[in-house]
Chain A
Amino acid sequence: AQSVTQPDIHITVSEGASLELRCNYSYGATPYLFWYVQSPGQGLQLLLKYFSGDTLVQGIKGFEAEFKRSQSSFNLRKPSVHWSDAAEYFCAVGPTGFQKLVFGTGTRLLVSP
Chain B
Amino acid sequence: DAGVIQSPRHEVTEMGQEVTLRCKPISGHDYLFWYRQTMMRGLELLIYFNNNVPIDDSGMPEDRFSAKMPNASFSTLKIQPSEPRDSAVYFCASRQGAGGTDTQYFGPGTRLTVL
Contact = CB atoms under 8 A, between A and B. Distances in A.
Contacts, number: 52
Interface string B68-110: 0000000000000000000000010100001011011111110
A49 B105 CA distance: 13
Interface of B is mostly: strand
Contacts of A100: 45, 48, 56
Contacts of B93: 43-44
A111 interface: no
Given A99-B31, A106-B42, A44 B91 contact: yes
Interface residues of A, number: 24
Interface in A83-105: 90, 94-105
B112 interface: no
B91 A51 contact: no
A43 B106 contact: yes
B56 A45 contact: no
Given A44-B91, A99-B48, A104 B42 contact: yes
Interface residues of B, number: 23
Contacts of A96: 100
A95 B108 contact: no
A49 B42 contact: no
30 contacts: A32-B101, A36-B106, A41-B108, A42-B109, A43-B4, A43-B91, A43-B93, A43-B106, A43-B107, A43-B108, A44-B43, A44-B93, A45-B106, A46-B103, A46-B105, A49-B103, A51-B100, A51-B101, A97-B100, A98-B100, A99-B31, A99-B50, A99-B55, A99-B56, A99-B98, A101-B45, A103-B42, A103-B43, A103-B44, A104-B42
